Chains A and B, each alone.
Chain A
Amino acid sequence: MGKLTIGCFSSLVGSMSLDFAVKLAGAAVEKGHKVDFWVSGNATMLSIKGQRAFKDYSALQKPLQELMGKGLTITACEACAEARGYHKDITMEGFKRHSMDWYLASTFDADRVLHIGGE
């Protein structure tokens, strides 16, 4: 088994790339890999708690919480989040917040890195 670091600089919740990144992280966790997941920019919206799930609409909170329970580490860029008014008190439990150093450090000891570019 190995370590995969995913960096996702996608658009808001509802972005195909964000959906893809969460599903890929899930598949890697299921296969026993360690996964670090970093979100930056508008993707930090993922960290907000209390987002409601509607049919045929991207709803990632529940799958993310399940994956965190299986060992996924997910971190939002603190500056990006704060710049968008996503403060600590509305952040999903278990969702870490750090500066970009965290992402860089994670990539340095990862076996594989997937950086999903901005939209």
Chain B
Amino acid sequence: MKLAVFVSDYRLNVDTLDRLKAEKLGIILVQNGVYHATVKEKGAASPLLGKSANYYALIDDLETRGLGNADIDGNVKVVGYGDIVDLIFNEYDKTAWL
């Protein structure tokens, strides 16, 4: 299964994601979830970025929070709504919302 998981919150504890098994995993950071791509705690990136997954962050939600490309972890690809539609249809076949 190719699974795209929307992460919409920053306070999310990571174990929900640990229980999701997928042959291909995409993590799409939206709303306050985009902070996973930018915030470092004690110098370390968010543990959420430690999975073997493709990472994406929604540019609209980054910009709303005053964040831009310079702030984002190198493993995270910046996408727009149209890109997300393409990801849902072409790269993954199931979705989940956390």
Contact = CB atoms under 8 A, between A and B. Distances in A.
Interface of A: 2, 4, 16-17, 20, 23-24, 26-28, 30-31, 33, 111-117
A2 B30 contact: no
Interface size class for chain B?
Answer: 10 to 19
24 contacts: A4-B85, A4-B89, A16-B8, A16-B31, A16-B32, A17-B31, A20-B8, A20-B30, A20-B31, A24-B81, A26-B81, A27-B80, A27-B81, A27-B82, A27-B84, A28-B85, A30-B82, A31-B82, A31-B86, A112-B89, A112-B93, A112-B95, A113-B95, A114-B88
B88 to A, nearest CB: 5
B95 A114 contact: yes
Interface of B is mostly: helix
B97 A24 contact: no
Contact of B97 (A27, A30, A114): A114
B31 to A, nearest CB: 5
Given A17-B8, A33-B89, A23 B60 contact: yes
